[in-house]
Amino acid sequence: MLQSIDARSGTPIGEHWPESNLAQIAEAVDAAEAAAGDFASTSAPQRAALLRALAAELEADREALVALADRETGLGLPRLNGELDRTTFQLRGFAGVVERGVAHERIDDAAVAGPPPAGRPRLTRVRVPVGPVAMFSASNFPFAFSVLGGDTASALAAGCPVVVKGHPAHPELSRRTAALASRVVAQQGLPPGVFQFVEGASIEVGVALTKAPAVAAVAFTGSYKGGIALAKIAAQRPRPIPFYGELGSVNPLLVLPPALESKGAELAATLASSICLGAGQFCTSPGVIVVAEGSAGDAFTAALATALKDMQPHAMLSPGIRATFDRGVAQWRATPQIKPLVDARDGGPATLPRPFLAEVTAEDFIANSALHEEVFGSAALVVRVASTDQAVQVLKCIGGSLTVTLWGAEVQSDEAHRLVRVATQVAGRVLFSGVPTGVAVTAAQHHGGPFPASTQPFTTSVGYAALDRFLRPVALQDAPQWMVDRQGVPA
């Protein structure tokens, strides 16, 4: 059952309704499959027009959408208006990418006369849309990683129909956005199968969608547990399909001595804000802060604690997410080796969440694998290290992460080299200033780190390379001229 709930009060709004049943899911996938051929053959201007019209309609309905999102997520109007801006920017960005010909790019190698290996036939490498993409919306970005978020935008840009599964934590917003999308698809003269929508809170809906034979790829942003379960199903189908899962991340942040000494207090305040941004509900929220032992590190840690103490994150997205946060913090509290620094115990599920910060030695952190797991929310561990060696070990034992931030690596040194190398081995994005929360939508972006941050670390779910996930290369050998002349994919 689906039910819209006021995130701040926990009050149900309106009636509940049933989730999509198996017949409805099959029907949605069938419609997408039926539309796949025609949509794969669309030209760049056609796809760009669709993406731009989606952006325009989101803006036209902004007031109602943002109000609905605010009620269902509690994220606040400024953030949600900004997120809607980012979502339309992204749709238009992909329109531009398609207009520049990226989705229709080909490599054409002329024939070379003579025997192999130098002699060869003409080969034209094109990229073919994979077919219907199952898209799982995330709870924490009700616009940018939901119904018309980056996964949908990039799949449509690639020429793939999308079957979106709305997130049950913002069900009314999902429905309204989906209705808007279907309207735009019809206005553009495209078959309804280009955009399909299913909904559900139970695991069965996601499983059925992932198993549907015509689904050609899955894009997923969500929990480690849910993502791993669906990835396994995608791999065990009679025809396995790519599962592009972004499963969350610890996002270690290292404050190196040069940064501690030059501007420790300022950075501590910046970091506290990043930890509390959106109540810590960013996949790039910093969860482990690596700080050298010694007085400069002590001062930074104290400044961070002071800054965090006064912060009040807003309500979390759902009672379930709040309960998981409370459980994660309780587990840290129950770990004898950690020393709480910010820990306002008053409150409870009915109150607003309180930030949590604790300190732990590198030895204790490394030895306790439970501490390497993400606690989703405004909670972080300060890990005190005695050496670059220990900092390296801390990064390695955390493993795959969407981001690693290195503050104080501006000046070249052996230590900086070593840390940068390890950071590039464990993360998809390495920052040298600023905070990891906030992911720019651009060509050079990479949002997807080694496992478990991502199930496909060579691909990104943010930025224009996200398109590549849905276009499979095919080499055409001695293709007839009529096919090479076509602007769209050969079909």
- List active site positions: 246, 283
Token couple for 246: 């972004």
Please report whether residue 483 would count as binding its own copies according to CB under 8 A: yes
Smallest distance, Å, CB 453 to its own copies? 11
**Shortest reach from residue 374's CB to its own copies, in Å:** 16
Give phi and psi for 115, each to the nearest 5.
-75, 160
Which of these ranges, 183-191, 305-313, 322-330, 406-414, lies near its own copies under the rule CB under 8 A? 406-414
Residue from 22, 77, 89, 225 in contact with its own copies (CB under 8 A): 89
Asked whether position 385 contacts its own copies by CB under 8 A, the answer is no
Name the region of 63 (left: φ>0; alpha: ψ -120 to 50; beta: rest): alpha
Q: Where are the alpha helices (DSSP H) in 188-288?
A: 203-211, 224-236, 257-276
Please, what is the angle between helix 414-426 and helix 388-398, to 10°?
0
How far out from the chain centre does Cα 373 lie? Answer: 18
Among candidate residues 254, 214, 212, 247, the one with its CA nearest the CA of residue 233? 212
For its own copies, which is the closer residue by CB, 192 or 258? 258
Q: Which helix (H) or strand (E) holds 57?
A: helix 44-60
Residue type, 23: A
Count CB atoms within 10 A of the CB of residue 232. Answer: 11
Could you say which residues in the range 198-237 bind its own copies, by CB under 8 A? 235
Give the bridge partners for 164, in sequence order.
Answer: 135, 197
3-state helix, strand, coil in the chain (%, to 5): 45, 20, 35
Applying CB under 8 A, among 276, 359, 446, 467 the residue interacting with its own copies is 446
Beta bridge partners of 406: 254
Least Å from the CB of residue 311 to its own copies: 21
Beta bridge partners of 454: 246
Q: Which is nearer to its own copies, 217 or 315 (CB)?
A: 217
Q: Could you say whether residue 59 binds its own copies (CB under 8 A)?
A: no
State how far the alpha carbon of 127 is from the alpha carbons of 390, 466, 476, 488, in Å: 45, 14, 10, 10
Tell me which of 131, 168, 206, 286 binds its own copies, using CB under 8 A. Answer: 131
Strand partners, 357: 342, 380
Of residues 305 and 371, the one with the C-beta less far from its own copies: 371
Q: Does 438 bind its own copies (CB under 8 A)?
A: yes
| One of 347, 351, 443, 487 touching its own copies (CB under 8 A) | 443
User: Residue 450's closest CA among 404, 390, 393, 392?
Assistant: 404
With CB under 8 A as the contact rule, the residue among 458, 461, 466, 467 that binds its own copies is: 458
What is the rounded distance in angstroms from the CA atom of residue 353 to the CA atom of residue 75? 13
| Comparison of 1 and 443: residue with beta carbon closer to its own copies | 443
- Neighbouring-strand partners of residue 359: 339, 382
Per CB under 8 A, does 457 bind its own copies?
yes
Nearer to its own copies, 355 or 448 (CB): 448
Closer residue to its own copies, CB minimum distance, 211 or 472: 472
Give the nearest distance from C-beta 471 to its own copies in angstroms.
Answer: 8
Count, residues near its own copies per rule CB under 8 A? 78
Q: Count other C-beta atoms under 10 Å from residue 119's C-beta.
A: 10
Q: Which two tokens stand for residue 213?
A: 């034979």
Pick out residues in 37-56 that bind its own copies (CB under 8 A): 37, 40
By CB under 8 A, tell whether 114 contacts its own copies: no
Q: From the list 3, 62, 82, 415, which residue makes contact with its own copies (rule: CB under 8 A)? A: 82
What letters, b where the CB count within 10 A reaches 16 and e where it falls short, cover 187-210?
Answer: ebebbebbbbbbbbbeeebbebbb
Please tell me the distance from the alpha carbon of residue 107 to that of residue 449, in angstroms, as a whole number: 29
Rank residues 237 and 327 by Cβ distance to its own copies and give the closer one. 237
Does position 120 interact with its own copies (CB under 8 A)? The reply is: yes
Shortest spacing between CB 140 and its own copies, in angstroms: 16
The interface mask with its own copies, positions 414-433, x = CB under 8 A, is ---x--xx--xx-xxxxxxx
Can residue 411 be called a binding residue for its own copies (CB under 8 A)? yes
**Start-to-end C-alpha separation, the chain:** 41
And the tokens for 323?
């309960």
Which residue number, 73 or 124, has a Cβ lying nearer to its own copies? 124
x-or-dash pattern for its own copies, window 13-42, by CB under 8 A?
------------------------x--x--
478: contact with its own copies by CB under 8 A: yes
Among 27, 85, 363, 364, binds its own copies (CB under 8 A): 85
Kindly state whether residue 105 participates in binding its own copies, applying the rule CB under 8 A: no
Q: Is 348 in the site for its own copies (CB under 8 A)?
A: no
Q: Is 90 in the site for its own copies (CB under 8 A)?
A: yes
The DSSP call for residue 318 is -
Cβ proximity to its own copies, 38 vs 364, nearer residue: 38
